[in-house]
Structure 1
């Protein structure tokens, strides 16, 4: 295993105008005027970090079952989400980081004293056998050690430390396996701080909601402003999975199952949209396959997490 580099993405918004107007900057040094910074570390610390991130990779990739992320399932402690064929260079937020930056690490600006507390993301480049990994950790105020904020014990005396520091722990946000272009993460919320994952899961927009309810399968109108965040997210998933097309194709079969669940809004070849929000939620849950009837007890259940196994 080789520890290759530690890179920081900083919040450099105040400097963006001045750097983009610098016409003398050439292509080989464009990164030096961006918000990407190289973080130099001593050999001793490099060896320690190599061991630290080796354990993290083992915990994430070897000791957890991988589950394809679809927005419908909440991972257990022994599971990890996976997205295949993930174009991380286009999806990463707030910078233009690419694989080439890690090949030309020496051309990146070294992080300065003024940059330190602007760090938003730490990125570790690590090689294991023939596999290349990028390990991402978002930073917030809790992870910074500010001068004179801690007392350190030395030579039988407590003293303030005037240096700045950061906390590097095992709570990383996501991992990219570069060779296979796979993204691994345990929290969608945290991974979304680093990458744009809106293609995979989000609230449906007003336009998408209007498109959804204007489908010919529905009869009636709905005010989109009254919909909850949870309903909007499920509408996004229903659209993404093309569920309405499947319902249209097998309408009678779907209608029969809806009636088994006590849903009475299927009339002839239409789904009547109710005025009652509780009934609307029931319909959306049904269309997102979050309602089911137990063949054992005949009880009807609502699921808030599901995973396809077959």
Structure 2
């Protein structure tokens, strides 16, 4: 709130793709700015659950699928400096024009405070993904029309219109990034967030193959996108492998694994299916019920605290 009791209005920005991820200021008339500020501030206030058990550490649980009342968090996330700068100094940024619409990948808004004594700044910035479906006008063979009350007829929209939803896809607050969907967060932050859960590189795959099998040359047809993500996460969480323990645990799930007599490391499975099952085992995606002893494969799990 301002000193006079009126709510401080948010400035809105378009985050454009391409070189440098350019930023443009969305200049709007005051009534619209007031309406959006009020509506979206409510969404921001409700985005982070009050119950701390509903806040999931993404770095520990990247394969988890949050419930509607849960949210992921990445601690100590560095939002790009130019985004923070736009919140502090909005008038330094060029205005968004109609020629920019097709380049928008996100819309964002927010505020910042500065401690009078320490000079430390705190930011609260909300993000909403954007794509061509949010552009209304003569677009891909579609016509946008509206009812003209003066003429009592429908008329065509002469210019492209933008749609801003009452929703958030990510919220940056107190140095932390909160989001519900990794896919949507990745659309906004790209490689900066992909580093937390990505596909293993060729070099990482070779090292993984050598560490686990004594063979860096894993067949290419074994290495689909899912397999590479498994490998990345296994590397991230394992500094070494207990080969005999893996063999024994594999038996619980019908996996016939063997070790090489010379190296003591695992023998690379001959079939892609068995290879993928091994990756699931190493990634803790296979488990046995402690009550019924039934065996399961999961694509969503969360560590117990």
User: TM-score band, normalised by the shorter chain?
Assistant: 0.7 to 0.9
User: Normalised by the size of structure 2, how large is the TM-score?
Assistant: 0.81
Q: How does 1:1-310 map to 2 (within 5 A)?
A: 2-11=8-17, 35-62=22-49, 65-70=54-59, 71-89=62-80, 97-126=82-111, 132-146=123-137, 149-155=144-150, 156-177=152-173, 180-195=174-189, 196=191, 197-215=193-211, 217-219=212-214, 222-241=218-237, 243=238, 245=240, 247-248=241-242, 251-267=243-259, 269-310=264-305
Give the Cα separation in 1 of the matches to 2:228 and 2:179.
23
CA contact (8 A) 2:221 2:272 kept: no
C-alpha contact 2:126 2:170 (8 A) present in aligned 1: yes
Count of matched residue positions in the alignment of Structure 1 and Structure 2: 278
SS at match of 1:45: helix
**Structure 1: runs of 5+ lacking an equivalent:** 17-33, 90-95
Deviation at 1:256, TM superposition (A): 3.3
* Pairwise CA distance, 1:290: 0.8
Q: Partner of 2:248: helix, strand, or coil? A: helix
Paired with 1:258 and 1:119, the residues of 2 have a C-alpha distance of 48
For 1:62 and 1:78, how far apart are their aligned partners in 2? 7
Unaligned runs of 5+ in 2: 2-7, 116-121
- Structure 2 counterpart SS, 1:87: coil
Task: Check whether the contact 2:73–2:179 (CA below 8 A) recurs between aligned residues.
Answer: yes
RMSD value over aligned CA atoms? Answer: 2.7
Q: Which secondary structure does the structure 1 equivalent of 2:155 belong to?
A: strand
- The TM-score normalised by the length of structure 1 is 0.79
